[in-house]
Chains A and B, each alone.
Chain A
C-alpha cells in the first residue's frame, strides 16, 4: 500500500486570465483528515473538484493510491463526496439515496439494503430511512449525504464545506460526528472550509490556501501558534499589530518584553518592525502607572476580551480567562506579552 493516499502534483487550473490553482503540491496520508482552509476564491474548492474528477487541470497530476487518475472521469474515481448544498436526490427517500452508489456498482439488492441500513445506523438515522429529503432537516440531510458517500466505501472522502448551511449548534454536533466516523473508519479525507475554527478542530493537518497557493501546511497547533506568513497569521485566528524593536540574536523588544522573532531576517538591529501578537499572548494588569487604558470589556463565556488603548493611540485586543477582579473599562493597565514567539510582518509603518 502506498504511504501517500492522495498526491496532487503541481496542479494548475486557470479560468481565462485568472489562475485559480497555481502549481499546488499536496500529499494526504492514508487515514488522515486534511483540511484545506482559505477565503473565498483561494482555490480550495477548485483543488477538491480536480481531485473529485469534476474538472480537468491545465497542468499537473492527480494521484490516488499511486495511480494517476488525472483523466479518469468522476464516476470512475471511487470517491465519496458531501457537498455544501443539499445534494440528496429529491425523488428518493434516504434509504434509496444511500443505495444509489451501490446500485451503480451492481451490488445485489439484499446486500445493498443491508449496507444502507448499516451506514444510516452509523450516522444515527436508521429510523429516518423512509423519509424523503423534504421531510428531513438540513442537518439530517447532510448526515444522509455522508452515509451515501460512505456506503460505497470510497478510497477518499471529499467534504466540500458540508456544514456551512447549518446553524451553529447543529454544525458543532455534526462536525464532531464526522470526525468520529472518519476516525472509526480510518478513511482518507479532504475537508474544504473557510471556517478556521472548523478546520482547526477537525483536522489532523491544515493547509492554508491563498491566491491558488498553499501558504502553510501543518498541524492545527503549528498553523495557529507558528504561522509561516502574515497571511496565515491574519486568517487563522485574531492578530494584534504591535510595534517592536529589533534586538541582537534574532530577538525583539515588544511592549517591554524580549521575544524570539520569526521572520526578522534581514531587519536591521535597532530598527522598528511591525509584530503580530495573538490576543491570548497578551496580558493586562491593573497598574496606575501603566501605559494603556481599558476601552472595552466583552464577556465571551470562559474568556473575556478586552480592548485596550495604548498611550500612543494604538488599540490592542487581549483575551484572558474570565475571573473576578479583571480591570474595568477606564482603568489604567500595563500590557505584557506572555508568549515566547512573535511574528514579524514587515518594517514598521509610521
Chain B
C-alpha cells in the first residue's frame, strides 16, 4: 500500500502568511492597546466611557447612520431594478453601465464637493432651505453616487449567480407583476449581494470626510477627525469600535453567503 506523503507547508508560504498577519494585525493590535491608555497615562476604559459622554460625537453618529440608512435604501431601490433590467433586457449595455458605474471612483470627491458648493451658492433660498440645511438631504444624493461602483458590482455578481431569466419567466408565468417579482423572487435570492452592497455603502458613508468637511456638515467621520486632533485616545477607541462593528457586519454577510453556497452545493449533489 502506498503511504500518503504528508504535505509540509513550504517556508515561503509561512513567511508570507506571518508578514501579512503582522502587516494587517499589527496596527489593529496597537490601536486596541492604545485605546486603553487614558489621558492620565493609566490603563482603563476611560476613552470608551468618554465616547458616550461626547454629545457632539453621538449626534454626528446618529446623523451619519441616518444618511447611511437613507443612502442604502435609495441605492438599492435604484440599483437593483437597474441591474436586473440590464441583465434581462439590455445585456449588450451591461459593459456601458458597468463603465458608467466606475465614474465616481475616477472623479475625485473634492470635484463633487466643489460642484455641490457651486450648486449651493446658486440655489434659491427656498431650495437651500429644503435641501442644503440638513446633511441628510444635502449629502445623501452624493453618497448614492459614490456608492454606485461598489453597489453595482456586488448586485451584479449576485444577479449573475442566479438563473435570472428562468426565475423571471416562471414568476411572470404564475401571474407576478414586476414589483412582486423583484420583492418576492429576486430580492430574497440575491440577499447576500444586497447585504454586501449595503455594508459597503454604510462603510463608505461612515468613512467619507472630504465632501462633508468641505461643505461644513458635522458628520461622524468629520467629528472623528476633529476629535482625533484634540483627544487622540478617544478617537482611537472610536476607530477600534467602528472596526469591530464593520468586521461584525462583514462576518454576518460572509456567514449568510457561505450558508447560501453550501445550500447550492447540496442542491447540485442531489
Contact = CB atoms under 8 A, between A and B. Distances in A.
A76 to B, nearest CB: 7
A38 interface: no
Contacts of B266: 134-135
A52 B7 CA distance: 57
A231 interface: no
B133 interface: no
Interface residues of B, number: 23
B170 A75 contact: no
A90 B174 contact: no
A89 B170 CA distance: 9
Contact of A104 (B163, B166, B175, B267): B175
Chain B: interface secondary structure? helix
Contact of A100 (B169, B174, B264): B174
B41 interface: no
A149 B174 CA distance: 8
A152 B176 CA distance: 13
Given A54-B172, A75-B172, A91 B263 contact: no
Contacts of A86: 163, 166
Interface string B150-191: 000000000000110011011111111100100011001100
Nearest to B169: A54
B173 A132 contact: no
B270 interface: yes
Contacts, number: 81
A67 to B, nearest CB: 17
A340 B177 CA distance: 57
Interface string A81-93: 1010111111100
A90 B185 CA distance: 9
A137 B270 CA distance: 5
A141 to B, nearest CB: 9
B1 to A, nearest CB: 35
Nearest to A160: B169
Contacts of B163: 85-87
B175 A81 contact: no
Nearest to A154: B173
A104 B180 contact: yes
Contacts of A100: 171, 174, 176, 184
A73 B189 CA distance: 24
Contacts of A135: 266-267, 270
Given A135-B270, A136-B270, A89 B171 contact: yes
Given A101-B175, A104-B176, A132 B166 contact: no
B167 A87 contact: yes
Nearest to A100: B174
B59 to A, nearest CB: 39
A52 B174 contact: no
Interface string B200-215: 0000000000000000
A136 to B, nearest CB: 6
Nearest to A91: B188
A89 B172 contact: no
A75 B267 contact: no
Nearest to B185: A89
Given A89-B167, A91-B188, A52 B176 contact: no
The listed residue with most B CB atoms (<10 A of its CB), out of A79, A83, A135, is A83
B189 to A, nearest CB: 6
Contacts of B171: 89, 100
Contacts of A134: 263-264, 266-267, 270
A81 B165 CA distance: 14
20 contacts: A53-B172, A54-B172, A75-B177, A77-B173, A80-B173, A85-B166, A87-B163, A87-B167, A87-B170, A89-B167, A91-B189, A100-B171, A104-B174, A104-B176, A104-B180, A133-B267, A134-B263, A135-B270, A136-B267, A152-B175
Given A75-B175, A77-B173, A86-B163, 13 more contacts: A53-B172, A74-B169, A75-B174, A80-B173, A81-B170, A89-B171, A89-B188, A89-B189, A100-B176, A132-B263, A134-B263, A137-B270, A152-B175
Interface of A: 52-54, 73-77, 79-81, 83, 85-91, 100-101, 104-105, 132-138, 145, 148-149, 152, 158
Going nearest first, the 4 A-B pairs with the smallest beta carbon separation are: A104-B175, A134-B267, A101-B174, A91-B188
